[in-house]
Amino acid sequence: MLSLTYNWKAFKLLKKYELVSHKYINVMVSHHGCWSELTSVNYIDTLINIEYSSFEILKASRIAMIRGSKENIKGQIKNIITKDRSIIDFDISEIVSDNNKYSIYLISMLQEAENTMISKLRAKGTSIIGTTIRDGKEIYDVIVPRDVKTLVVDAIMKDDRVKIINFVEKDVNEELIFKVISRNSFEMLLTEKERMLLRKARELGYFNVPRDRNSQELAKQLGVSKMNISFSLRKILKKISDLID
């Protein structure tokens, strides 16, 4: 038992050292000439797999959710992707079609690796824990060793096709990692209006214990009824609860 306890403590100390020696970076960019900039506000996706071939070809698989009209969605995605000259080949498969509010697709593509942000980030020793396309912007969540953080930023800024829209840097801890991994799933399920409501509620202290503001005060701040707030929050909780087995 003594040996097991010692090993567990040593493991925790090692993990703490590893996290302290790294930084978390969240960066949102617009990528001129990339297919991502042509996606609409109704499009959101997340990267689920990447592979590299010996010929500097990147194979990426993404899960995409498109809200609203279902008319010729596959054709619209195809038209967007074909405008990106760095993409060699791609395949689009609909995997959910019986939902009235959105459609879900699996998108697989082969792309020249040197033209991707993913390759630029990986070349600087980063660990990519999340990448999303939303509102025509690319969003990357990465863990970087402290001693190469500046190199990562320089690599992004040296590409004249890439413009940094937002940049967040934080110390790494277990809670942050969990939050980042969970967030990508939630953001695909929530509408922009729902995300805005959650941000405002958090900002006003609605989720604090005890609460700084109640639902009536939150409703007043947002210019809607208390019933509207209650209904919207229940819808959000329902979406989150559906993720739990």
**Are 171 and 209 in a shared domain?**
no
For residue 86, tell me if it sits in a domain.
Answer: yes
In a domain, 15, yes or no: no
Q: Which of 115, 124, 110 is CA-nearest to residue 49?
A: 110
Number of domains in the chain: 2
pLDDT value at position 181?
74
Give yes or no: residues 45 and 165 share one domain.
Answer: yes
Note down the domain range covering 214: 190-241
Q: Could you report the per-residue pLDDT of 7-50, keeping only the tens digit for each?
A: 444 444 445 445 557 888 899 999 998 999 999 878 889 888 88
Rounded to whole angstroms, how far apart are CA atoms 128 and 41?
A: 24
In a domain, 221, yes or no: yes
Q: Alpha-carbon torsion 70, 75, 76, 81, what sign?
A: positive
pLDDT of 1 over the 60 cut: no
Give yes or no: residues 132 and 218 share one domain.
Answer: no
Do 141 and 200 fall within a single domain?
no
If asked whether residues 194 and 171 sit together in one domain, one would say no
Give the C-alpha separation, 139 to 54, whole Å.
Answer: 27
Mean pLDDT is lowest, of 70-79, 102-111, 153-162, 173-182, for 173-182
pLDDT digits (tens, 9 = 90+) for 201-225: 888 888 888 888 888 888 888 888 9
Report phi then psi at 24, rounded to 5: -100, 135
- 1 belongs to a structural domain: no
Q: Are residues 111 and 161 in the same domain?
A: yes
Q: Is residue 176 part of a domain?
A: yes
Q: Would 143 be classed as within a structural domain?
A: yes
Asked whether residue 160 falls in the same domain as residue 231, the answer is no
Residues 183 and 197 in one domain: no
Distance, CA of 242 to CA of 235 (rounded, Å): 11
- Whether 124 maps to a domain, the answer reads yes
Q: Could you tell me if 169 and 212 lie in one domain?
A: no
According to DSSP H, which parts of the chain are helical?
2-20, 73-81, 117-122, 149-157, 174-189, 192-203, 215-222, 226-241
This prediction has a pTM of: 0.73
- Mean pLDDT over each residue of the chain, to the nearest integer: 81
pLDDT of res. 185: 66
Q: What phi and psi values does residue 68 have, to the nearest 5 degrees?
A: 90, -145
Please identify, among 145, 164, 188, the residue that sits at the C-terminal boundary of a domain. Answer: 188
